[in-house]
Structures are given as structure tokens and as C-alpha cells.
Amino acid sequence: MRETAYAKINLALHVRRRREDGYHALETLFAFVDAGDVLTATPAAQDSLNVVGEFAPTLSSPLPGGEGSGVGTPPFDNLVARALNVLPRPQGLGVTLEKNLPVAAGLGGGSADAGAVFRMVEALHGLPDDWQARAAKLGADVPACVLSRTHIGLGTGTEQLSVEDDLAGTPVLLVNPRVPLSTGPVFKAWDGKDRGALPQGPASRIAREGRNDLEAPAIALCPPIAEVLAALARTDPWLARMSGSGATCFALYDTAEARDAAQTAMPAAWWTMAGRLR
């Protein structure tokens, strides 16, 4: 069995306030790219996980800010292993994770991997009725990544609202300066100002008129993000913005040719991935 862990992007991300539980109240427009990490699985006597691919070494090296360590070891605590642990099944799965997405990059890579596990288990055995609660315990983005479709996320991101999706098939380019950026420090650096709710309307309008409230604090912590955004702006996209808490940025184009030309124009030292919105 083979499943893509679709890269998550936040077309807009509005931070409204800090909640009493310490989390932040968010309003976000989730979208997913038709590319990402790749998981393959075969039935096995017991669960196992093998990680390969360009970014496999980052799952065994600590990241700045304290995130990242060995598979299954806090604080990184690989989400594929955790997803396997929370889903009841009659047999084990031997999983190979091809890690194509950078870690600590604003793409929900670990959450997307967990979402792919949920979809594989669903295809093989079905999911328990409380699968959303099980997914949410793994991380705020995991329920969204199980669905992997454009929608609005509220609260910490786990509350899901449908939206008119007029962006499916839109060419998209992801660019990361190869600088990991932990989520916690970015939220801590947010200035606390409520700049208002998401716009109303279809996904395209929300994306155009929305914003990412974490962009400024992320740039303060990771200046190369500003360089990425400037480089993308020069390729004439109809939207270029940072995703999540960074450092990955995305750009949306009218044609695949424009997207591919933009990818060619990016510095060779940066990580890029081209695709379309699902």
C-alpha cells in the first residue's frame, strides 16, 4: 500500500488571541499540495518504521529550539509511530517513510505523515468512530491532514468548516531556505494584536484578502524568509505568502509553465517542490 502525505499549507493564518490554556485561537484556510512525503506499508506481525529520503537524517538530529530527536523519542516523537499506536488494528504494519518534506518548515510534515497512516488504516480496516479525537491528540493539524482537502480550521485548527473550493488544480510552488524554524518561538514572538477575522467567500477570496499573522515574527527570527518572499514576488505569482509558522513560503500561479519557470529561478541552495492544490 502506498499513500502520499500531502504537504499542508496555510493560505491564510489569522491569530486572534492567546487562550487560557496557553494555545492560540486561530482562523486558518488549510490547503494541500498534491505532493509530499510518501509512505508505503505491508502487513506485518508487528509495527515497524523505516525512514529514508533526503530529510531522513533530520529525524535523528535535534533541531534549534529543542524540537527533533530520534524516532519515537520525545520531544520529536515521530508521528507515524504515534499514529500506529493510537489506531486499533487486527495486524501490524511495516511502514517505510520517504521523507521529502523539510522538518520544522510550516508544512505540517509530521502531521501529514500521521494523516497518511490514518488513511491507510482506513482503507485496510476502517477507522474507529472517534478517529478525529484520536488524531487531535497527536497534534492540532492532524485531523486536517487526515482529510487533506481545502477547508477552514478554527480554534487550535482542529475545528473544521467547509469552504467553497475554487482553487483545486492551482499550480503552486513551495520554497524553503533550508533553515528549520520551530513553531513555539514564532508564536511567542507574535505581538498579540488581533487584526481581525478571515474574510468571507470562496477560498480564492479568503486567500487573496487574508494574511499570515506569524510572518513578521518568523522573519524576525529567520531573516531568509524575507529573501524567499522577495524572490517569489519577482516571478509574478498572484499570491506569495509564508505557510504556517515558516520557514516555507508558497506562491500560486495561473499556469504550470509560470510555476516551473519560477522554480528554475530560485537559488539552487534552496529546497523547492512544485505541484498543484488538491
CA dist., res. 13 & res. 213, Å (int): 6
Catalytic residue among 37, 99, 113, 141: 141
Q: Do residues 182 and 104 lie in contact, with contact meaning Cβ atoms separated by under 8 Å?
A: yes
CA dist., res. 236 & res. 114, Å (int): 34
Beta bridge partners of 156: none
190: left (phi over 0), alpha (psi -120 to 50) or beta: beta
170 contact partners, CB below 8 Å, separation of at least 6? 252, 253, 276, 277
Which phi and psi angles does 249 have, rounded to 5°? -120, 160
Catalytic residue among 8, 37, 113, 213: 8
User: How many Cβ atoms are within 10 Å of 234's Cβ, its own excluded?
Assistant: 11
45 contact partners, CB below 8 Å, separation of at least 6? 91, 92
- Is 8 a residue of the active site? yes
Report the candidate in 175, 180, 182, 173 with the shortest Cα–Cα distance to residue 270: 175
255 burial via Cβ count (<10 Å: 0-12, 13-18, 19+): exposed
- Is 137 a residue of the active site? no
β-pairing, 249-252 vs 271-276, is unpaired
Q: Which residues are catalytic?
A: 8, 141
